[in-house]
Amino acid sequence: MARRFRVFAVAAVVWISSAAGSAAAPLRTFYVDPAGNDSAAGSITSPWRTLQKAADTVRAGDLVIVRAGHYAGLYLTTSGTATDPIIFRGDPGAIVDTQNPTTPDGINLEGASYVVIESFAVTGVPRAGIRAVLNHHVTIRGNTGDLNGRWGILTGFSDDLLIENNTMSRSQAEHGIYVGNSGDRPVIRRNIVWGNNANGIHMNGDLSQGGDGIISGAVVEGNIVHDNGAAGGSGINCDGVQSSIIRNNLLYNNHASGISLYQIDGGQPARDNQVLNNTIVMASDARWAINIQNASTGNIVRNNILYNQHSFRGSVAISADSLPGFVSDTNVVMDRFSTTAGVTAVRAAHITELRAAVLGLE
């Protein structure tokens, strides 16, 4: 019986709408305004002047509304609760363009859990626009970060994290969104990440920083990731990421790799992940659309569109030690693959086993 390619799937970006659970009404509401005074009550008619005054005052259940204007950032160590989070919400035009009083970041959550940061513009700070470390159940939603010194968003040892509906662009040294340090179950969805010097979205278990070096249970979905990687990296980069789902993302015109699964500083290889329904169109100076290396076994690549404008690089580069358990089917691909870490491109007709693994032959 003649073998036939199964390439009938269509990958698309899906802007998934989710009904978030209704939080309780805030216990107290405070206001910050460029014309305010930190000796005032923080009320709607007598607002505070600085974000740090609000950060030093809030407790679980408080809402801080920040009016339009330019601000130094905040350093928060106080946690909310599951039923009464702390919420900092920027009005349109609320801009953080000076670092907080303690670290070279804009908005910094240091051990502060059950906190929501939403609708701020953070630009031009020396390190991270928004940083969240040593915490859990943090939501970073609807913010923009542009031209920050190292990262747009950085998290570390932050479990059950939600990063959604943000635009993170033109990070000068590294990445748009960096989720690291063994933080499990992050959800990164519906963000626009573009023009960052290295990775667009980077997940790294960071074994060298402590912990088990593994990020598990991640969901990365519905993101638009483009024009990243002038200094290397990937559109979506996964070092030591396991049992996670990367789906319904649109990646285009990135200049290094597309989606990468591997181990450098992760505690183990990037195993048992699902890469589903993504559309990846690589720039003419780019690497491979899908890059799987370092014994990253058991990964599933299905229903993706993988196109490369490079002269010889193509759809999938997978190392021989990553092939065990690899499943790939119903992808729309080019006839270019590699089992030599992407150094040498080979045509599928010349490697029967790889052709069957990557294209899904009947």
pLDDT in tens, 70-81: 999 999 999 999
Q: 20 phi and psi, to 5 degrees?
A: -70, 145
Q: Domain boundaries in the chain?
A: 106-359
pLDDT category of residue 340 using cuts at 50, 70 and 90: confident
SS3 assignment, position 354: helix
3 state SS for 38-66: CCCCCCCCCCECCHHHHHHHCCCCEEEEE
The yes-or-no verdict on residue 312 having pLDDT over 80 is yes
Share of the chain above pLDDT 70, in %: 88
Encode pLDDT of 69-109 as tens digits.
Answer: 999 999 999 999 999 999 999 999 999 999 999 999 999 99
Average of pLDDT values for 311-330? 96
Answer left, alpha or beta for residue 358, where phi above 0 means left and psi between -120 and 50 means alpha. Answer: alpha
Residues 316/345, Cβ–Cβ less than 8 Å: no
Q: 243 phi and psi, to 5 degrees?
A: 50, 45
The yes-or-no verdict on residue 180 having pLDDT over 60 is yes
Residues 342/314, Cβ–Cβ less than 8 Å: no
Residue bearing tokens 């690589």: 282
The yes-or-no verdict on residue 22 having pLDDT over 70 is no
| Single pTM value for the model | 0.90
CA 223 distance to own-chain centroid: 9
Cα separation, 201 vs 183, whole angstroms? 15
pLDDT for 171 equals 98
Specify the fold of 106-359: Pectate Lyase C-like (2.160.20)
pLDDT category of residue 346 using cuts at 50, 70 and 90: low
pLDDT category of residue 344 using cuts at 50, 70 and 90: low
Measured over all CA atoms, what is the biggest interatomic distance in the chain, rounded to whole angstroms?
Answer: 83
Average pLDDT of the chain, as a whole number: 91
Name the nearest CA neighbour of 278 among 256, 257, 251, 255. 251
